[in-house]
Chain A
Amino acid sequence: MKKRLIAVMLCVAMMASLLVGCKSGSEGSGDDKDSSGSAGSNTMEVEGDYTELEVWTFIELHQEFYTNMAEKWNEANPDKQVKLTLSNMQYDDMHNKLSLALESGEGAPDVVDIELGKFPAFMVGDVELMDLTESIAPYKDTTVESRLDIYSKDGSRYGLPTHVGATVAFYNTELLEGAGIDYTQIKTWDEFKAAGVKYYEATGKYFACVETFANWMINLMLVQKGGDYLDGDGNLDLTNDTLVEVLQYIKDMQDTGAFATVPGGQPDNEEAYPSYNSGDYAVQIMPFWQTSRFTSYMTDLEGDVAIAPAPVWKDGDVKSIGGGGTGTAVVKTSENADLAAEVFAFIKLSEEANKEVWNVLGFDPVNTAVWEDEELTKNPDNKFVQFFNTYPFDTLNEIKDSIAALDTLSNEKWPSINNELVTTTLNNIYENGMPVKEALEESQQTLENEFN
């Protein structure tokens, strides 16, 4: 009897706490922390007539950005106001749900952020996304074309890019100076490697990581050598000499002891941030958008990090490659597809948007004219300008005309290739010590089986 009483009381207490929770949830505003964008959905306030658009994203930072830009759109277009309902989901879940929704023709949102690595999967068969070529037209001239091309198929464009994602080097100058290394002297991969060895000897700590769960540095090195994962006819070719050379070079770097795998397998991983934050690794070769990870998750490094062009093999090599990205797409079957396309082209590609991409997200905008607007890029109030000890855009402008693209990344085979690389190949080589050639041969075989 007593136990039952306790149970009943507990139920009551639980219900009561639920009510309290709900209440404070709807009021809560006194919180000075930035937790308002936390998981779940977000709806904006709009006065007057509006059209509601459902937006899915897997990057919480995007929510604030989209809402800000939508408000600007509403100000300028009072006759075509929109109200965004943003749902934030986990990366895999969101893409999976999208693919299920498109397949069943039901439950898809109006607008969705699709990650570059997943994009080709939505280009197979009948494309269920809307052709955005027309909506992009007004902004086409000011936008880096290669970033539009990665989200296209047969000449039609299906995704609105967010950034260029130019791959650069992030040097922890405080640590490097302690070891007597001047990062500005590092121009080639050989120098990079030598600096690593010197740093390791001086400090006993790792210089940079060897990627096992991504291929930012690998892709850059590969493109600089003119290599690829596919042969000229678009067939899978993992065992080509260039790829073997690149992976072997990295393997040699690892063998010096100065380079090592990192928890999480790559610098942009929640398990890796703490390793960088505490100074276990000094350097990252990452796309430019890593800036936002520094200000959010590696806050102890404020004032210690310089951005510089990534190393090259030899003079004349391309200096950078666009890495990663999110293409915002409109679902073809959406009732408001036309409006959504127009609004989101504005939200993502207008000059205003490009400025916001830098101000809010800290990314390198796809409108490179904005890169030269020093008022914007050297604004002392900007948190990214404050964080780094070089002006981020100085580096970007330096490499601006030498940013390559790897076409394979928009090939429909890429998601599978990438998956194999990051789960198996790179782990075989850098965690288990399998010879490079052998690991690649094995993966080539696995993938051939899948593609046939």
Chain B
Amino acid sequence: MKKLLYSKKVAPYVFVLPFVITVLLFWIYPIANGVLLSFQDVLKKEWVGFKNYERLMTDKIFLKSVYNSVRYMVGTLVLLIPFPMLFASLLNSKLMKKPGFFKSIYFLPALTSVVVAGTIFRLIFGEMGTSLANQVIGIFGMEPIKWLKNEWTGYFALLCIACWRWTGVNILYFLAGLQSIPGDIYEAASIDGASKWQQFTKISFPLLKPTTVYVLTISIYAGLSMFLESFMLWKGNNSPQNIGLTIVGYLYRQGIEKRALGYACAVGLVLLVVVMVINLIQLKATGTFDKEER
């Protein structure tokens, strides 16, 4: 027995065993369970067929939450991939003095918990004239705004939190990617007379592709499943006109606040499908998936 366990044939399976167990217990089983629950009315303990899904399709609040989540995700993709990539390239340049100092500072927000960050931003975007956001627009002669009561200003506040927390992390991801590009490629290009900008577009950008795909994947995932930022910013799950309601927020509202567990599971499965589909398309388009499978 012991010998078998130690053999080179069996060892690999022992190594991956913890993963297999985790996946079965904490992913496959609950997802299967979720699928079953999504066909039930859990409180009344009865099977309801596709009723939960039918209700989803006409549930305006759910559709609103999907819209909010997708809009948030798109916003974070636009802001949190190109800029950090550019910043990382500049930070990586030899002309930049003391990059370590800046890297530490940029990483600081990621170390603050969302509970703290959300509370800070809630108070920065307070509706009184003395809140920082209103003081800033006051400089430009604008009247105080009720930031968290309007659709687009609320969206703006959410994006501010996202940029504040993740710019630094993404910069570090890209820096790590850049540092694995051999320096002599740049030297050769420089001798050939390529400008810094050309070096960025022709060398850094294509060679950063794996990093970009990775960041893109986790950003899509994180954007669509965002919840806590909104929960803290509006101090709960109820924002005016549901401007801060996300898919996970709706799942939370239905499953926990309204005790409609079956309906919530249906919401969760829709989220799962949306994330999977978007990511599969994205991985297919970037060609990453094929490579991994081979």
Contact, chains A and B (beta carbon distance below 8 A): yes
Q: How far is the CA of A95 from the CA of B126 in the complex (A)?
A: 27
On whether the beta carbons of A125 and B236 are closer than 8 Å, the reply is no
Which of B16-24, B52-60, B71-79, B187-195 lies at the interface? B52-60
B167 to chain A, nearest CB (A): 25
Q: Is A51 an interface residue (CB 8 A)?
A: no
Residues of B within 8 A of A92 (CB): 236-237, 257
Please count the residue pairs between chain A and chain B whose beta carbons lie under 8 angstroms apart in the complex. Answer: 56
> Is A100 an interface residue, CB under 8 A from the partner?
yes
Complex-state Cα separation, A415 to B237, whole angstroms: 14
Q: Is the CB of A424 within 8 A of B149?
A: no
Given the known inter-chain contacts A212-B240, A424-B242, please indicate yes or no for A449 contacting B43, CB distance below 8 A.
Answer: no
CB closest chain-B residue, reference A263? B127
Mask for A31-52, Cβ within 8 A of B = 1, else 0?
0000000000000000000000
B256: interface (CB < 8 Å): yes
State A95–B238 Cα separation when bound (angstroms).
15
The CA of A427 and the CA of B58, in the complex, are separated in Å by 23
**Quick check: is A99 within 8 A (CB to CB) of the other chain?**
yes
Q: Separation in Å of the A449 CB from the closest CB of chain B?
A: 6
Q: Does B216 sit at the interface, judged by CB under 8 A? A: no
Binary contact track A238-265/B, C-beta < 8 Å → 1, others 0? 0000000000000000000000000101
Are A419 and B55 closer than 8 Å at their CB atoms?
A: no
The interface size bin for chain A is: 20 to 34
Please determine whether A427 and B149 come into contact, CB atoms closer than 8 angstroms: yes
Decide if A125 touches B43 in the complex (CB within 8 Å): yes
Contact of B259 (CB < 8 Å), options: A99, A419, A423: A99
Q: A146 to B177, alpha carbons, bound, how many Å? A: 68
A178-218 interface with B by 8 A CB criterion: 212
Q: Residue B241 contacts which of A96, A100, A423, A445 (CB distance < 8 angstroms)?
A: A423
Task: Judge whether B128 is part of the interface by a CB distance below 8 angstroms.
Answer: yes
Q: Which residue of A lies closest to B128 (CB)?
A: A263
- Determine the chain B residues whose CB is within 8 A of the CB of A360 once the complex forms: none
One of B44, B60, B239, B261 near A423 (C-beta < 8 A): B239
Chain A residues with CB under 8 Å of B59's CB are 449-450
Task: Flag if B257 contacts A263 (CB, 8 Å).
Answer: no
Point out the residues of chain B lying under 8 angstroms from A95, CB to CB. 257
Q: How far is the CB of A435 from chain B (nearest CB, A)?
A: 15
Q: Name the A residues within 8 Å of B258 (CB-CB).
A: 121, 415-416
Query: Contacts of A5 on B, CB cut-off 8 Å?
Result: none
A100 to B257, CA, bound (A): 9
Asked whether, in the complex, the Cβ of B126 is within 8 Å of the Cβ of A419, the reply is: no
Q: Is the CB of A428 within 8 A of B241?
A: yes
Cα A419 to Cα B258 in complex, Å, equals: 11
Q: How far is the CB of B211 from chain A (nearest CB, A)?
A: 27
Q: Interface SS of chain B: helix, strand, loop or mixed? A: loop
Closest chain B residue to A100, Cβ basis: B256
Which residue of B is nearest A452, CB measured? B55
- Give the distance in Å from the alpha carbon of A95 to the alpha carbon of B42 in the complex: 18
Interface string of B222-260 (1 = CB under 8 A from A): 000000000000001111111000000000000011110
Closest to A280 in B: B128
Closest residue on chain A to residue B151 by CB atoms: A432
B146 at the interface (CB under 8 A from A): yes
B61 contacts the other chain (Cβ, under 8 Å)?
Answer: yes
B256 interface neighbour in A96, A124, A419, A431, Cβ under 8 Å = A96
Smallest Cβ-Cβ distance to A91: which chain B residue: B236
Q: Does A422 contact B (CB under 8 A)?
A: yes
With A92-B236, A416-B258, A427-B149 as known contacts, state yes or no: A446 contacts B241, CB within 8 Å. Answer: no
Mark contacts of B151-193 with chain A using CB atoms, 8 A cut-off: 1 yes-contact digit, 0 otherwise.
Answer: 0000000000000000000000000000000000000000000
Contact A125 B44 (CB under 8 A): yes
A134 touches B (CB below 8 Å): no
B residues less than 8 Å from A398 (CB atoms): none
CB–CB B241/A424 < 8 A:
yes
Inter-chain contacts of B126 with A (CB < 8 A)? 263, 271
A431→B61 contact, CB < 8 A: no
If A431-B146, A431-B149 touch, whether A121 touches B259 (CB-CB below 8 Å) is: yes
B35-55 interface with A by 8 A CB criterion: 42-45, 55
Considering the chains assembled together, what is the distance between the CA atoms of A26 and B242 in angstroms?
43
Asked if A103 is an interface residue, CB under 8 A from chain B, the answer is yes
A99 to B44, CA, bound (A): 15
Q: How far does the Cβ of B52 sit from chain A's closest Cβ, in whole Å?
A: 12
Within the assembled complex, what's the spacing in Å between the Cα atoms of A121 and B128? 35
Query: Which B residues are in CB contact (< 8 Å) with A100?
Result: 256
- B257: A residues at CB distance < 8 A: 92, 95-96, 99
Given contacts A125-B44, A449-B60, A450-B59, contact A103 B241 (CB under 8 A): no
Chain A residues with Cβ under 8 A from B237's Cβ? 92
B48, chain A: closest CB distance, angstroms? 12
Is A423 in contact with B256, judged by CB distance below 8 angstroms?
no
Residue of B nearest to A125 (CB): B43
Q: Please report which residues of chain B, range 91-121, place their CB below 8 angstroms from some CB of chain A when the two chains form the complex.
A: none
Chain A residues whose C-beta falls within 8 Å of the C-beta of B236 in the assembled complex:
92
Residues of B within 8 A of A125 (CB): 43-45
Determine the distance from Cα of A423 to Cα of B240 in the docked complex, in whole angstroms.
Answer: 5
Contact A449/B58 with A263-B128, A415-B258 known, Cβ cut-off 8 Å: yes
Enumerate 22 A-B pairs (CB-CB under 8 Å) in ascending A order.
A92-B257, A99-B256, A99-B259, A103-B259, A121-B259, A263-B126, A263-B127, A271-B126, A415-B258, A416-B258, A419-B238, A423-B238, A427-B240, A431-B149, A431-B240, A432-B241, A446-B61, A449-B58, A449-B59, A449-B60, A450-B61, A452-B55
The 10 A-B residue pairs with the shortest CB-CB distance, nearest first, are A427-B240, A125-B43, A96-B256, A423-B238, A424-B241, A99-B259, A263-B127, A427-B241, A92-B236, A431-B149
14 new A-B contacts at CB < 8 Å, known A124-B43, A452-B55: A95-B257, A99-B257, A103-B42, A103-B259, A103-B261, A121-B259, A125-B43, A125-B44, A423-B241, A424-B241, A427-B149, A428-B241, A432-B241, A449-B59
